[in-house]
Amino acid sequence: MKNLKQILKAREILKEESPLIHAITNPISINMVANAILFLGAKAICAAHPEEVSEITNISSSISVNLGNITSERMKAIELAANSANKKNIPLAIDMVGVGSSTLRYNFANKLLANNNFSLIKGNSSEIRALALGKSQAKGIDVGEADKIEKENIGKIAEEARALAKKYKSTILITGKTDLIVSSDSYIRVDNGVENLSKITGTGCMLTGIISSFMTVEDPVSASILGLLILEIAAEISNTDRLYTFFVNLMDGIGNIKDDDLIKAAKVKEIKF
């Protein structure tokens, strides 16, 4: 793992290059995702029509796809975008929203993983366990109590994700109170953030867009560390019991948070398997 000061250099590089980020996300969060990408200094496009999605993918620098609020048309668009991204070696992230809550999403996710190479596979611990074990305790799109990352099960969940990382030759990101970035030989835990992030719809989708942006200039592990720290430390600074105030200040923080704030507050630790 690179040191944090090296990783933070990606922020200025991203602003200088201003790459086009293609996010096929759900309509619940599309505005938040696009704005988060723009606030970082990149450009956003959220094309999801099957007849144009390959063309848009081919001119983009990074792609993220999202299983939230899934429709037949968006499923087709995701398949076409993933195929086009792989052909051009464009970084590709997938957000496994709700994959543990319905057979449709579970089967579709496994089809995508079998037919495409993803740089990053992201989900909460219920979603990742659904992929790893074929079952989970998901509560809709939210993590179930039995799947939450705790001191007693963190090693077990990391090993489950490690098996996925090896199987799909991908980086696995598990989000929650404790976040785990899992590769084949180690995992990184990030312990920043506040509970209010789970009370605002679309923050997980925003995180995927942020990480996808940094994947244009960094590897998936470093991009995930940086994306998590920006979102979660901005949330710590913005935290208040007035949720809409929290949301507005969080959006400001994504683009304006200082490197020194990130360095001082970061709670990041790498653990070897």
Please say if the pLDDT value at position 149 is more than 90.
no
Beta-sheet strand order (sheet of 62-66)? 43-45, 20-24, 62-66, 92-95, 120-124, 171-175, 179-182, 186-190, 268-272
Q: What is the mean pLDDT of residues 30-58?
A: 97
Give the span between the Cα atoms of 42 and 50, in whole angstroms. Answer: 24
- Angle between the 72-87 and 103-115 helix axes, to the nearest 10 degrees? 20
Predicted confidence at residue 19, as pLDDT, reads 98
More confident residue, 133 or 64: 64
Average pLDDT, the chain: 95
Predicted confidence at residue 261, as pLDDT, reads 97
- Angle between the 203-214 and 243-256 helix axes, to the nearest 10 degrees? 0
DSSP track, 79-120: HHHHHHHHHTT--EEEE-TTTTT-HHHHHHHHHHHHHS--SE
Predicted confidence at residue 151, as pLDDT, reads 84
Nearest C-alpha neighbor of 96 from the set 110, 82, 81: 110
Q: What is the distance of C-alpha 106 from the center of its chain?
A: 18
Query: Is 5 annotated as ligand-binding?
Result: no
Query: Is 255 annotated as ligand-binding?
Result: no
Phi-psi region of 89 (alpha: psi -120 to 50; beta: other; left: phi over 0): left
Q: What does the pLDDT look like over 217-229, one tens digit per residue?
A: 999 999 999 999 9
Q: So where are the chain's domains?
A: 4-272
Q: What is the distance of C-alpha 12 from the center of its chain?
A: 20
DSSP track, 42-68: -EEE----TTTHHHHHHT-SEEEEE-T
Give the span between the Cα atoms of 74 and 159, in whole angstroms. Answer: 32
Q: What is the mean pLDDT of residues 27-52?
A: 97
Token pair listed for 84: 């086009």
Predicted confidence at residue 237, as pLDDT, reads 97
Give SS3 for 25: coil
Query: Is 122 annotated as ligand-binding?
Result: yes
β-pairing verdict for 179-182 and 171-175: antiparallel
Q: Domain 4-272 is in which class?
A: alpha beta
Predicted confidence at residue 146, as pLDDT, reads 75
Predicted confidence at residue 81, as pLDDT, reads 98
Q: What does the pLDDT look like over 47-72, one tens digit per residue?
A: 999 999 999 999 999 999 999 999 99
Give the span between the Cα atoms of 96 and 105, in whole angstroms. Answer: 8
> Buried (b) or exposed (e) across 115-152, using 16+ Cβ within 10 A?
ebebbbbbbbbbbbbbbbeeebebeebbbbeebbbeee
Q: Which residue has the tokens 């620098």?
A: 61
Please say if the pLDDT value at position 99 is more than 80.
yes
Q: What does the pLDDT look like over 190-233, one tens digit per residue?
A: 999 999 999 999 999 999 999 999 999 999 999 999 999 999 99
Residues 6+ apart with CB under 8 A from 194: 232, 235, 236, 239
pLDDT bin (cut points 50, 70, 90) of residue 139 is: confident
Predicted confidence at residue 148, as pLDDT, reads 82
